[in-house]
């Protein structure tokens, strides 16, 4: 059973989906730590309601990013973390964490990467006039949403969509997609081949 830490900045709906999937056995893992860079993030309160250890880590309280990530590494070590899941974590992970958890940090992004990386992915999709968007789970690297893709789910874009309506539709797909990817990781199904990640399967959408 893998020990999972979740990083978040906001409402924590993806975090809650992962916690629930661990509790039901869909994921062979346990969420042992939830930390956030925003002390008022609703996701922290949700994790506490599940009885999970939560730690606020406000980067503004540290002299540098290295100091901030060193603190996170201590928390991760104390929790015996095997896998980090970013769930609405609005910060780029630096080289300290990347080095310590190489190929062990997953992220979920609300677009079909490599299209529309970064912030405001839904607005980017609407501005481009695409007919299909979606979500992507990927391993992170030093770039902005550029790491190897693990799983994706396509979501149709309606002619009358706004950023809010498209975001809501994509969010409905994010939860099962992230659960599927993390479950595959915890089962040991993921394998690397020529820089690609295989083994997460796909949903019939």
Cβ neighbour number for residue 5 with a 10 Å cutoff = 25
Question: What is the SS3 assignment for 127?
Answer: helix
Q: What's the Rg (C-alpha) of the chain?
A: 16
Active-site choice (71, 109, 120, 138): 109
β-bridge pairing 132-139 and 149-156: antiparallel
Q: How far is CA 161 from CA 42, 88, 122, in A?
A: 27, 22, 10
Q: How far is CA 172 from CA 48, 108, 179, 183, 197, in A?
A: 23, 13, 12, 18, 24
Taking the C-alpha atoms of residue 12 and residue 78, their distance in angstroms, rounded to an integer, is 22
Q: Give yes or no: 138 in active site.
A: no
Taking the C-alpha atoms of residue 94 and residue 126, their distance in angstroms, rounded to an integer, is 30
Whether the CB-CB separation of 123 and 163 falls below 8 Å is answered with: yes
Return the active site residues.
109
């Amino acid at each position: 059973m893998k020990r999972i830490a979740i990083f978040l900045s906001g409402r924590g709906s993806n975090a809650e989906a992962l916690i629930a999937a661990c509790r039901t056995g869909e994921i062979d893992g346990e969420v042992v730590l939830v930390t956030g860079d925003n002390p008022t993030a609703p996701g922290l309160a949700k994790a506490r309601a599940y009885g999970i250890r939560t730690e606020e880590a406000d980067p503004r309280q540290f002299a540098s990013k290295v100091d901030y990530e060193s603190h996170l590494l201590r928390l991760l070590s104390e929790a015996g973390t095997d896998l980090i899941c970013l769930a609405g974590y609005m910060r780029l992970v630096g080289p300290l964490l990347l080095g310590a958890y190489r190929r062990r940090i997953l992220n979920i992004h609300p677009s079909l990467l490599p299209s529309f990386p970064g912030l405001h992915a839904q607005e980017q999709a609407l501005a481009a006039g695409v007919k299909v968007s979606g979500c992507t789970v990927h391993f992170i690297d030093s770039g902005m949403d550029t790491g190897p893709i693990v799983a994706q789910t396509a979501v149709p874009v309606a002619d009358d969509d706004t950023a809010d309506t498209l975001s809501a539709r994509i969010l409905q797909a994010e939860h099962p997609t992230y659960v599927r990817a993390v479950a595959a990781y915890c089962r040991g199904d993921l394998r690397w081949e020529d820089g690609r990640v295989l083994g997460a399967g796909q949903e019939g959408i």
